[in-house]
Chains A and B, each alone.
Chain A
Amino acid sequence: MSVLIELAVPLILASVGIHALISGTDIFPALCRGAVQGLETLKDMLPTLIVLFPAVYMLRASGALDALSALLAPLMERIGIPAETVPLALLRPVSGGAATAAAADIIKNSGADSLAGRTAAVMIGSSETTFYVIAVYFGAAKIKNTRHAIPAALLADLAVFLTSAWTCALMWG
């Protein structure tokens, strides 16, 4: 399993390439087109990050994040969530950019291979910006009565944060 994960990237590249060769796709232009899309993704991401990183950095420098973590630590420890990841969990459903900034901050300060760093990575890798998705989909479909969609989506978010923390604690704790 661990060998497979270490080789995951080369294996994916190889199998996608071979499949494209067999199906007769014009491979190189497609790759370059995709790389351009990557640059566009970065271009779209960057302004939000530039605006939100200073806010997260200021919260950390002021001691507000530590105070929040210390306040919630006893409760969070009881349910098995690293206290550092609380701000990330609070920001995640509302803003992808702020959550990315918070996650990058935790990964940098606690270490990429620390338990808190891994938990932050798993939390952000297995969740979406819930309210953004809801706004886009219901907005496009002209829905005013969203019924049970929001509570169900937020329950799923809660589940993802708890499961991320528990699986990480189990695997690397």
Chain B
Amino acid sequence: MLMGLIWTAMIVVSVLFGCLNGTAGEVQQAALEGAQAAIELCIVIGGAVCLWCAVMELMSASGLAEALSHALRPILRRLFPESARHEAVLQPLSANVSANLLGLGNAATPMGIRAAQEMARLAPPGEASNELCRLVVLNTASIQLLPTTVAAIRAAEGAVSPFDILPAVWISSAVSVAVGLAAACAMERRP
């Protein structure tokens, strides 16, 4: 429903501005160009997206993702002290975080959902516990180490070195996780 509202609003605003600015002709052309550009983008980035998915599938098949998820456990025990006492929560939780780091979106979401459901069982029904809020905030802040889709878009538009944005992405991701978790912890204390 929300997306429908946003889409319609974007179109109506374009039509209004097109009439006011005398750019109605361009707006009409842009509608068709946009649809074409969407297909073109998918074709241009398609190869890189599939290559990364292939590498990531190999990472999970070879046990690299699982090794990382074990390595993360000490950190997660600090961040989620209550949940970490239950193996049923800690297991999907560490799998969720390691899949997010590696960019395994297909694996991260189901694992995160299972962790969220198990956490919800430890709290009064219908109410988000402090640790569940932390888990959700951790997942709304991207912690992906290799932003492959956007690198593919940059490569398609002629970037000299598509991955040279990595240090900036890591700094921004780290700051956003830190701010999100700090904000969550600060708001916890209020009744």
Contacts A49-B42, A143-B120 hold; do A34 and B184 have CB atoms under 8 A apart?
A: no
Interfacial chain A residues near B6, Cβ < 8 Å = 91, 94-95, 98
Interfacial chain A residues near B50, Cβ < 8 Å = 34-35, 38-39, 42
| Contact A34 B157, beta carbon cutoff 8 Å | no
Contacts A46-B39, A58-B14, A61-B23 hold; do A122 and B169 have CB atoms under 8 A apart?
A: yes
B133 at the interface (CB under 8 A from A): yes
| Contact B169 A126, beta carbon cutoff 8 Å | yes
Count of chain A residues with Cβ under 8 Å from any Cβ of B?
A: 100
Interfacial chain A residues near B180, Cβ < 8 Å = 152-153, 155-156, 159
| Contact A61 B54, beta carbon cutoff 8 Å | no
| Contact A20 B62, beta carbon cutoff 8 Å | yes
CA A100 to CA B135, docked complex, whole Å: 25
CA A37 to CA B151, docked complex, whole Å: 19
Interfacial chain A residues near B10, Cβ < 8 Å = 55-56, 58-59, 98
**CB nearest neighbor in B for A97:** B3
B71 at the interface (CB under 8 A from A): no
Q: Which secondary structure characterizes the binding site on chain B?
A: helix
Q: Which secondary structure characterizes the binding site on chain A?
A: helix
Choose among B58, B106, B146 the residue that contacts A25 (Cβ–Cβ < 8 A): B58
CA A70 to CA B139, docked complex, whole Å: 33
B61 at the interface (CB under 8 A from A): yes
| Contact A41 B136, beta carbon cutoff 8 Å | no
B91 at the interface (CB under 8 A from A): no
CA A111 to CA B154, docked complex, whole Å: 9
Interfacial chain B residues near A57, Cβ < 8 Å = 30-31, 33-34, 37
Interfacial chain B residues near A126, Cβ < 8 Å = 142, 147, 168-170, 172-173, 176
| Contact B53 A35, beta carbon cutoff 8 Å | yes
Interfacial chain B residues near A98, Cβ < 8 Å = 6, 10
Interfacial chain A residues near B3, Cβ < 8 Å = 94-95
Choose among B18, B132, B161 the residue that contacts A62 (Cβ–Cβ < 8 A): B18
Chain A residues in the interface with B (C-beta under 8 A)? 1-2, 5-6, 8-9, 12-13, 16-17, 19-20, 23, 25-27, 30-35, 37-39, 41-42, 45-46, 49-64, 67, 91, 94-95, 98, 100-101, 103-104, 107-108, 111-113, 117-118, 121-128, 130-131, 133-134, 136-138, 140-149, 151-153, 155-160, 163-164, 167-168, 171
A selection of 7 A-B contacts at a CB cut-off of 8 Å is A12-B55, A41-B105, A42-B46, A64-B16, A100-B149, A125-B144, A141-B117
Q: Which 6 A-B pairs have the closest CB atoms?
A: A34-B57, A156-B180, A125-B147, A38-B50, A57-B34, A54-B34
